[in-house]
Amino acid sequence: MEEDEFFGEKTFQHYCAEFIKHSQKIGDGWEWRASKDCSDGYMCKTHFQVKNGTAMSHQGTSAHVQTFLPVEEAVDPPLDDFEVTETTTAAEVIKYEYHVLYSCSYQVPVLYFRASFLDGRPLALKDIWEGVHECYKMRLLQGPWDTITQQEHPILGQPFFVLHPCKTSEFLIPVLKNSRKINRNVNYITSWLSMVGPAVGLNLPLSYATAASQEEGNVSGQGKKRSLHSTFPVAEILGLFCIWLCPPCWTQHFLSLLSPLTGH
């Protein structure tokens, strides 16, 4: 609709579609849901977690992807059925739902999520907050508009928790600008979600990042393999990780440190 939109809604939907394609390949469970009038929609995923912190194995992806180091990822062959290794009672299993919506006001993606026990009892904000890693809590508490708050889901009308979107473009725009400079395709949904997701218990397997690079390799038709290919997204994610944790005034500083890594 608008040419001057950097993250227009159509761009958002395009990158979500690409993201979901890869999710389907590796069985990560993301899907698109259209609103009733089909004018828009959102990306969503449900996963289950036992309260003591060990996630249940779900269709082949390792749940403990807390590291950003370039390790050889031993992907288990995808399981046909959802297998549950459950030794605890039903009351301790928590169902997490993650929804990725587009905010036309801020022109960025927004992460909505909610958690409940299997019997339907929802988790309170303080319980969710307990699950947030210490290093994220500090950053999240910097301003009342940068924290997790409870809000009404704009399409479903039900209470969800939301990571406030107003600072998203500050760290996303440099990523896109930089990648366009060097003609590298970046799926900004992948970049953004890999940044904000872990703060609320949502981890992305590393293959999402390399998938985006591979798509670009196919499009350009070049067989040339860049040796830094497997580490490039890692450096990017590491750098962005630092940026996100720091106050906005440090963003420029870190970006200038990062550019030798992201350039070739």
Q: 46 or 158: whose CB is closer to another protein?
A: 158
- Figure out which of the listed residues 3, 37, 80, 81 binds another protein, where binding follows CB under 8 A: 37
Alpha-carbon torsion angle 173, 178, 183, 187, nearest 10: -40
How far, in Å, CA of 226 to CA of 153, rounded?
42
Considering the rule CB under 8 A, would residue 41 count as an interface residue with another protein? no
Residue from the set 10, 31, 35, 130 that interacts with another protein by CB under 8 A = 35
Q: Please identify which of the residues 166, 242, 246, 249 carries the catalytic annotation.
A: 166
Provide φ and ψ at 22, rounded to 5°.
Answer: -70, -40
Of 148-156, 183-191, 194-202, 228-236, the segment contacting another protein by CB under 8 A is: 148-156
Q: Which of 155, 172, 196, 209: binder of another protein (CB under 8 A)?
A: 155
* Residue numbers 186-245 binding another protein by CB under 8 A: none
Report the residue number, 36 or 224, with the smaller CB distance to another protein: 36
Given 144, 221, 223, 263, the residue binding another protein (CB under 8 A):
144
Is 2 a binding residue for another protein by CB under 8 A? The answer is yes
Give the burial class of 76: count Cβ atoms within 10 A of its Cβ; 0-12 exposed, 13-18 middle, 19 or more buried: exposed
Residue 54 in contact with another protein, rule: CB under 8 A: no
| Contact assessment for residue 46 and residue 103, using Cβ atoms and an 8 Å cutoff | no
Q: Taking CB under 8 A as the rule, does residue 166 contact another protein?
A: yes
Judged by CB under 8 A, the chain residues 66 through 125 that form the site for another protein are: 104-106, 121-122, 124-125
Is 15 exposed, middle or buried, given 0-12, 13-18 or 19+ CB atoms closer than 10 A?
buried
Element (H, E) at 20: helix 9-26
Do 98 and 49 contact (CB within 8 A), yes or no? no
Cβ proximity to another protein: between 26 and 156 the closer is 156
Instruction: Give the binding range for another protein (CB under 8 A) out of 13-21, 159-167, 180-188, 249-257.
Output: 159-167
| Residue-level length of the chain | 264
1: contact with another protein by CB under 8 A: yes
Q: Which residues contact 159 (CB under 8 A, 6 or more apart)?
A: 114, 122, 150, 151, 152, 153
Judged by beta carbon, residue 166 or residue 235, the one nearer another protein is: 166
Spatial distance between the Cα atoms of 66 and 118, rounded to a whole number of angstroms: 26
Residue 159 sits in the site that holds another protein (CB under 8 A):
yes
Told to judge if 246 belongs to the known catalytic residues of this protein, a careful annotator would answer: no
Q: Does 248 bind another protein (CB under 8 A)?
A: no
Position among 24, 46, 150, 222 found at the interface with another protein (CB under 8 A): 150
What single letter denotes the amino acid at residue 180? R
Separation in Å, CA 131 to CA 33, 113, 200: 27, 13, 7
- Please list the active-site residues: 166
Residues that bind another protein (CB under 8 A): 1-2, 35-37, 104-106, 121-122, 124-125, 144-145, 149-152, 154-159, 164, 166
